[in-house]
Homo-oligomer: A and B are copies of this chain.
Amino acid sequence: MLDKHIIISSDKWLDEQGPKMHIVISSRSRLARNIEGYTYAPYAKKEELQAIADVIDSAINKIQEVNQFHRIAVPELNKVERHYLTESRLISKELEKSGEHRYVYLSEDRKISIMVNEEDHLRMQCLLAGLQLRTTFEIINLIDDYLSQYIDFAFSEKYGYLTACPTNTGTGLRVSVMLHLPGLAVQDRIKEIVEMVQPLGLVVRGFHGEHSGFEGDFYQISNEITLGKTEEEILETLHQVIERIIEREEEARVKLFEEHKITVEDIIWRSYALLSYARKINSTEALQLLSRIRLGIDQGLFPELTHQQLNRLIVEVQPAHMLLQEGANISASERDIIRAEMLRMRFQSLLSAN
């Protein structure tokens, strides 16, 4: 079972401020590493998986002075608890669905998570609010440096770090930024963004990662290939692209509010109205409505609301978050009722009548 402490603090990073928060939800760097001499996790037998986990646990224990980590054994979690961690972006969908000898280590501040025996033996990520790509890399790079004192990572002079899937071979670095692009989306200009990033080896995904739709106008942009590039190049490429997208989104929002002020304000206030009064809301609709409120914050329509509060709501309206907070075996339709209740309370308490 998931520790109560984990549940309460798993989305801590959401409460922090970060640069460009009006457009950038979060930045993330993730390193893939494998231990020399061991089979890749997808092909390893049980005993080997446990041996790998033991090597890693021993190394992490040695760096507890630097960072306090909380270890969670995935098989000990029920379905909802696993999905909760995925929703909080602390583990991947793959780890969520995995079996024995899978672990995740979470730092006290929840900014760092280390997955054990996912596709690679180690997947280490740092997640921060706003546009802090370089900082996320520096933090996770430091963890990598510390662990490499105690673990012999599989490395080839020719290819760099070796990984289970060739797309991660090289630096093993995947960087991603979650963007909120309602301005470009409403002007049907997302295609333009996709075309801008593709030639640079970057890819656009939805709020829920791979194979998810673009619900709520959230877009995650990340590098697809790590081979043949330095960490610096990967970071710089993504950073430059994000800066350009931010500029375009800012222009799009200005244009939107200049040319269609009433229409946009109508959409935003209708969203606020539904969040404040609906009696049932599913998670997809909630995400859409909250997305519009987020745009409204940027335009000064909700001086009482912060981007952080909104980001937290966006995470907390997700199904497993709702279930764990309610702590009961509730059906999907009951969940929609409780979600609406929660949103109603938040919005009616956050805002005075306008």
Contacts and interface: CB of A to CB of B under 8 A. Distances in A.
B353 A348 contact: yes
A224 interface: no
Interface stretch (A140-148, A170-178, A274-282): A274-282
Interface stretch (A50-58, A184-192, A261-269, A315-323): A261-269
A240 to B, nearest CB: 38
Interface in A56-98: none
A159 to B, nearest CB: 56
A337 interface: yes
A272 interface: yes
Interface in A278-292: 278-280
A2 B23 CA distance: 54
Contacts of A348: 353
Given A348-B353, A353-B348, A269 B278 contact: yes
A309 to B, nearest CB: 19
Contact of A278 (B266, B276, B337): B266
Nearest to A267: B279
A340 interface: yes
Interface in A304-344: 337, 340
Classify chain A's interface size: 10 to 19
Given A262-B337, A266-B340, A340-B266, A276 B273 contact: yes
A340 B262 CA distance: 11
A273 B277 contact: yes
Between A265, A279, A353, the greatest number of chain B beta carbons within 10 A of the residue's beta carbon is seen for A279
A244 interface: no
A270 interface: yes
Contact of A277 (B262, B272, B279): B272
Given A348-B353, A353-B348, A269 B279 contact: yes
A348 B273 CA distance: 12
A337 B340 CA distance: 28
A63 to B, nearest CB: 51
A276 B347 CA distance: 15
Nearest to A272: B277
Contacts of A353: 348, 353
Contacts of A337: 262
A91 to B, nearest CB: 34
A280 B263 CA distance: 8
Contacts of A274: 270, 273-274
Interface string A107-124: 000000000000000000
Between A263, A265, A277, the greatest number of chain B beta carbons within 10 A of the residue's beta carbon is seen for A277
A34 to B, nearest CB: 51
A43 to B, nearest CB: 50
Interchain residue pairs A-B with the least CB separation, the first 4:
A273-B273, A273-B277, A266-B279, A269-B277
16 contacts: A263-B279, A263-B280, A266-B279, A266-B280, A266-B340, A270-B274, A270-B277, A270-B279, A272-B277, A273-B273, A273-B274, A273-B276, A273-B277, A276-B277, A348-B353, A353-B353
